[in-house]
Amino acid sequence: MKQNIYENLKKKIKSKDAKIAILGLGYVGLPLAVEFSKNKFNVIGYDISEDRISILNNGKSYIKGISDQTIKEIIKKNFNPTTDAKLLKEADFKIICVPTPLEKDKTPDLKYIKSAAAAISKNIRSGQFIILESTTFPGTTENYLKIWLEESSGLTVGRDFGLAFSPERMDPGNKKYGVKNTPKVVGGLTKEDTEVAAMLYETVVKAGVIKVSKPRIAEATKLLENIFRHVNIALINEMALVFEKLDIDVHEVIKASSTKPFGFMPFYPGPGVGGHCIPLDPYYLSFAARQKGMRPQFIELSGEINDYMKIHAVNLVEEGLNQLGKPIRNSLVGIMGLSYKKDINDPRESPAIDILIDIIERGAKVKVYDPYIKEIHTKVGSFRSVSTPDTLFKGSDAVIIVTDHTEFNNLDYDSLIKMMRKKLIVDTRDVLGKYKNKDLLYFKI
Ligand code: SAJ
């Protein structure tokens, strides 16, 4: 019996008769659905958002990097976006790509994985294969998902259905790397699970599929990748604070250190860390470590340093205005850039949000400008992006550059500065670099 389900699934992959359901059509799930559809598989795209499903059914895309044309082409042929979980019964493979946020106390919030597991269990049948892609702590697949699926379905993994973990490595806005050319790590509950999951991904991932011995290895792989960034970003942020006191330009130092052809990788200081991965994923490992009585200090200390950069950025605004004889209270501050990293339209966990709130709470008024984001909603209100940088600079006492959108490198700062009431720029991304202006008070991180 056990051999049957795996042999049967392998046959269906080879013949491309395997029906694939992707649960969660966000920046991870939709690109994956597109690639499997382009590879002639029948794909069910399941999402709980009626909006997303209707946008897709109208042949439109809401994910940067996926065109409306691409959606139109696959919709007609073999991509079926739906909110109807019953269709999951038809699928041979079900890949969970839902968010894994944090609770307020920075512990894992697995509610979306749980609800995806419930939808799967309600529509499960023998012979199916489930893969979890959402970033989570080591042990989730083997000690939680496996049990949730077995308990609610009455079926047994390895006999009735297969189970594996494969971390997503999607980088929103990255024009160079996507599903096809990013190597994929896969860890199944048993060897056969790993084999079958790897075989499935090999149909769309041309950069190679790496098989590991257990799901928890694959879960830990993803966390190491992102904790590596989290800690190194915190390190360069702390270096920036130290070098600022030593009157050393940290960007010049980074440039010089980057000439070392081995053993060094540049990171850049900034106003803090945003996005859907780096501010969240490391705490998943902290949680798992604390469950075993350990407290990984690097992760928590790095989080404190990265969070402090948002406060430091606003301190520079306040200090600069003081030097210009203008208290921050009742000043007008322009915020350049809302998204969490350059040239994308994603404000999730963006440092700009906490920086905006802090500036308001210190008594200033705020204008915002971001070429990719029309409006953001915060606990101190909603803010619409003004139409141009001119409108942002006009009448402002200070402008803080929070996101290094490429567009900001080519502005005519001489004329923009002339429009300011007081002339302070706080540059948290080294956008202005060597630019000089004798009328300008210029602070940078
Ligand atoms: N940041 C810095 N300094 C740096 C690098 C980043 O302050 O040197 C900030 C960014 O401005 C941003 C945050 O950190 O606010 C996160 O930046 P990121 O470059 O890590 O971008 P993300 O969050 O989109 O991370 C994704 C991750 N991809 C996946 O999780 C699949 C990450 O693993 C990738 O390495 C990263 O993209 C990438 O390389 O761009």
Under the banding of pLDDT at 50, 70 and 90, the label for residue 414 is very high
Query: And the tokens for 322?
Result: 């003081």
User: How far from chain centre, in Å, is Cα 280?
Assistant: 9
Residue 138 has pLDDT above 90, yes or no: yes
Q: Is 341 in the pocket of ligand 1 (CB under 6 A)?
A: yes
Q: Is 273 in the pocket of ligand 1 (CB under 6 A)?
A: yes
How far does the centroid of ligand 1 lie from the alpha carbon of residue 172, in Å? 9
Query: And the tokens for 37?
Result: 């559809």
Residue type, 221: T
Residue 426 has pLDDT above 70, yes or no: yes
pTM of the model: 0.93
Q: CATH second-level architecture of 214-445?
A: 3-Layer(aba) Sandwich (3.40)
Under the banding of pLDDT at 50, 70 and 90, the label for residue 171 is confident
Q: Is 364 in the pocket of ligand 1 (CB under 6 A)?
A: no
Catalytic-labelled residue, pool 18, 75, 205, 277: 277
Minimum CA distance residue for ligand 1 atom 23 = 275
Minimum CA distance residue for ligand 1 atom 11 = 341
* Whole-number pLDDT of residue 239: 98
Ligand 1 atom index nearest CA of 278: 23
For 294-309, write each residue's pLDDT tens digit: 988 999 999 999 999 9
Minimum CA distance residue for ligand 1 atom 9 = 273
The widest CA-to-CA distance across the chain, in whole angstroms, is 80
Q: CATH second-level architecture of 2-213?
A: 3-Layer(aba) Sandwich (3.40)
Q: Is 197 in the pocket of ligand 1 (CB under 6 A)?
A: no
How many other C-beta atoms lie within 10 A of the C-beta of residue 412?
10
In the predicted model, what is the mean pLDDT of residues 210-228? 97
Pairing of strands 398-401, 128-132: unpaired
For 228-273, write each residue's pLDDT tens digit: 999 999 999 999 999 999 999 999 999 999 999 999 999 999 999 9
How far does the centroid of ligand 1 lie from the alpha carbon of residue 281, in Å? 12
Asked whether this chain's domains 2-213 and 214-445 adopt the same fold, the reply is yes
| Residue 277: active-site member | yes
Q: Where are the domains of the chain?
A: 2-213, 214-445
Q: Is 169 in the pocket of ligand 1 (CB under 6 A)?
A: yes
Query: And the tokens for 332?
Result: 């007008």
Residue 198 has pLDDT above 80, yes or no: yes
Query: And the tokens for 340?
Result: 């969490």
* Whole-number pLDDT of residue 173: 78
Sign of the C-alpha dihedral, residues 15, 159, 23, 171?
negative
Q: Is 231 in the pocket of ligand 1 (CB under 6 A)?
A: no
Ligand 1 atom index nearest CA of 267: 8
How far does the centroid of ligand 1 lie from the alpha carbon of residue 302, in Å? 14
* Whole-number pLDDT of residue 64: 83
Residue 345 has pLDDT above 60, yes or no: yes
Choice from 228, 273, 402 to test ligand 1 binding pocket (greatest atom count within 8 A of CB): 273
SS3 string, the chain, reads CHHHHHHHHHHHHHHCCCEEEEECCCCCHHHHHHHHHHCCCEEEEECCCHHHHHHHHCCCCCCCCCCHHHHHHHHHHCEEEECCHHHHHHCCEEEECCCCCECCCCCECCHHHHHHHHHHHHCCCCCEEEEECCCCCCCHHHHHHHHHHHHHHCCCECCCEEEEECCCCCCCCCCCCCCCCCCEEEEECCHHHHHHHHHHHHCCCCCCEEEECCHHHHHHHHHHHHHHHHHHHHHHHHHHHHHHHCCCCHHHHHHHHCCCCCCCCCCCCCCCCCCCCCCCHHHHHHHHHHHCCCCCHHHHHHHHHHHHHHHHHHHHHHHHHHHCCCCCCCCEEEEECCCCCCCCCCCCCCHHHHHHHHHHHCCCEEEEECCCCCEEEECCEEEEECCCHHHHHCCCCEEEECCCCHHHHHCCHHHHHHCCCCCEEEECCCCCCCCCCCCCEEEEC
* Whole-number pLDDT of residue 3: 57
323 or 410, higher pLDDT? 323
Residue 4 has pLDDT above 90, yes or no: no
What's the full length of the chain, in residues?
445
CA–CA gap between residue 92 and residue 21 (Å, rounded): 8
How far does the centroid of ligand 1 lie from the alpha carbon of residue 408, in Å? 20
How far does the centroid of ligand 1 lie from the alpha carbon of residue 76, in Å? 35
Residue 1 has pLDDT above 90, yes or no: no
Q: Is 267 in the pocket of ligand 1 (CB under 6 A)?
A: yes
How far does the centroid of ligand 1 lie from the alpha carbon of residue 278, in Å? 6
Q: Is 272 in the pocket of ligand 1 (CB under 6 A)?
A: no
85 in Cβ contact with 46 (< 8 Å): yes
For 427-441, write each residue's pLDDT tens digit: 999 999 889 999 999
Pairing of strands 79-82, 93-96: unpaired
Q: Is 328 in the pocket of ligand 1 (CB under 6 A)?
A: no
In the predicted model, what is the mean pLDDT of residues 171-195? 94
Minimum CA distance residue for ligand 1 atom 24 = 171
Q: Is 170 in the pocket of ligand 1 (CB under 6 A)?
A: yes
CA–CA gap between residue 359 and residue 402 (Å, rounded): 13
In the predicted model, what is the mean pLDDT of residues 214-229? 97
Choice from 278, 355, 370 to test ligand 1 binding pocket (greatest atom count within 8 A of CB): 278
For the chain, give the mean pLDDT.
96
For 375-409, write each residue's pLDDT tens digit: 999 999 999 999 999 999 999 999 999 999 999 99
CA–CA gap between residue 393 and residue 418 (Å, rounded): 9
